[in-house]
Amino acid sequence: MKQVKALTITYLTPVSFASLNGGDKEADNISSIKKIAMGVDQYPYVSSQAVRRALRNQLEVLGWPLSEGAAATIKKGAATTQQEPDKYIDDDLFGYMGIESAGEGKKGKATKRTSVVRVSPLIALTPYQGDLDFGTNYMGVKSGGDPNIFETEVHSGLYRGSILIELDRVGCGDGFDKDLPLTEKAKRVTGLLTAVKNLWVPGRQSRYLADVSPKFIAAAMMRAKTPIFLESVKVDDNGAVTARMVQETIKDYQDEIAASVIGVRTGAFNGEIEGSVTIGDAFNTMVKWVDQYYR
């Protein structure tokens, strides 16, 4: 495990009815969702920024104190965080960028920590079919106004996302005067895995409550920093995960893989995948990997 550099996870989550991530409005009374065009079809997606925000929020729900936003110290500068990765898990795992203005007796400087956690957008594998949810806002009726009619784009389908964690950069490097203890590094990565297991995108949930936690995962401890499953996890026309592609990927990268696991929620997909375990067991396996790595 000491030669390992990263932990990569690719996951699938089926969504029955949702409007996960808002996009630019195409019309005043239509709330659109983000989509990417592939050929003649459009596929909804949750942006990587939204996924990172969701992971941050879940870490806070799980009891981790987060680095609160700090105002920029230069005119028209962007707000940033406290930039204390030794103290805050999100500064450590998700990085930051800030500029400190020059003051009396000190020079201005730029501070940066590149994110340890790399995240892909959560993109649908099934196209958008043009579905709209019709709604009416009656809030202004009592004061003499007319009902406000609106529509919201909704989607039902399967989404895929990937996460790569640079294990060798957790708790050290930019922003650290000294490395964190190995036990604290392991604790932070384990906390992130718990956030992934319980992933919940908070946007548009008051009317479109959706569960985007993983129902299938393919994960590996990598000696190279490569998200090997990112384009290898798909579902066929019968609703079965393309197990052959996943297993072939594991075989092709056997020299770079120190350990791998496949987890599936029973009944979520058609067919069976040889050697797979439950989602809970898969995450428990990854926690054991992390403990071994930082031992």
Closest CA to 129 of 157, 103, 104: 157
Q: How far is CA 242 from the centre of its chain?
A: 22
Widest distance between CA atoms in the chain: 71
Q: What is the pLDDT of residue 72?
A: 53
Report the C-alpha gap between 191 and 64 in whole angstroms: 8
Rounded to the nearest 10 degrees, the angle between the axes of helix 182-197 and helix 279-293 is 160
pLDDT digits (tens, 9 = 90+) for 165-209: 999 999 999 999 999 999 999 999 999 999 999 999 988 888 889
- Total residue length of the chain: 295
CB 19 within 8 A of CB 33: yes
Q: What is the pLDDT of residue 269?
A: 93
Closest CA to 160 of 11, 3, 6: 11
Q: What is the mean pLDDT of each run of 10 residues along the chain (295 residues)?
A: 93 93 74 93 96 96 88 56 94 88 62 95 95 77 68 93 98 96 98 97 87 97 97 92 94 97 94 92 98 95
Q: What is the pLDDT of residue 136?
A: 76
